[in-house]
Structure 1
Amino acid sequence: MQAEVLRACRFTLDPTCVQEEVLLRHAGVARWAFTHALGMKVAAYQEWWAGGQAFVDTGLGEAEARKRVRVPVPTKPSVQKHLNQIKGDSRTPGLPAGVQGSARPCPWWHEVNTRGG
């Protein structure tokens, strides 16, 4: 019978002030993107719920009402497309043609490399 030997290593990051700022910026961008996507999904759910409630108020059973309401759930590509349209760039003012909403919620986005690897 062989004994199994487990080994572990522990590493600690010790970033410089500049590296720490970059790490915090990346974490902030990830959190902002997550919150944005979650907000889009919550809005779709609330729209679905309100539509179902409207059917229930007319006398339709709740289960049948929920089946009749069709609200598209935001997919990853649709969230990314929306984010790319609104995210902004501090180097260029304004929104592109055809895009509605508040003026550029995250103009700092171009400062962070968001390409994963």
Structure 2
Amino acid sequence: MTDQDGALTPTIGGSGTSSILRFITEQGKEAFFITLGIYNYKPWVDVITGLANNVTCISTLPEYYNSVHTKRCYSYKAQYTSQSILNIDHRTISVQYRVHEGHNLELDIVIG
């Protein structure tokens, strides 16, 4: 991940790869993940809210590729390019690919 002028830029490989960004407030509350990836050469995104403190990116990422976790598997195969979730604290977590074609994708994340 690189940071340039306040814009974080994750770098992932080609089709069949993904990455998770974990967010948490300074008070250590409201943890959530934004998972992004490429499947069949098209981008996808997923938002997971309501995380327990012991849930990590490393433990969660394999769930997308394990048929036991059908919700996660469906998320990447559906190839959503946007998603909006209302978390338990009534904040809306919205993500949307602004650029969803080519090699330099852009994803907007809005926490409201």
TM bucket (normalised to shorter chain) is under 0.3
- Which is richer in strand? 2
- Which is richer in helix? 1
Question: Normalized against structure 2, the TM-score is what?
Answer: 0.25
- Tell me which structure has the larger Cα radius of gyration: 1
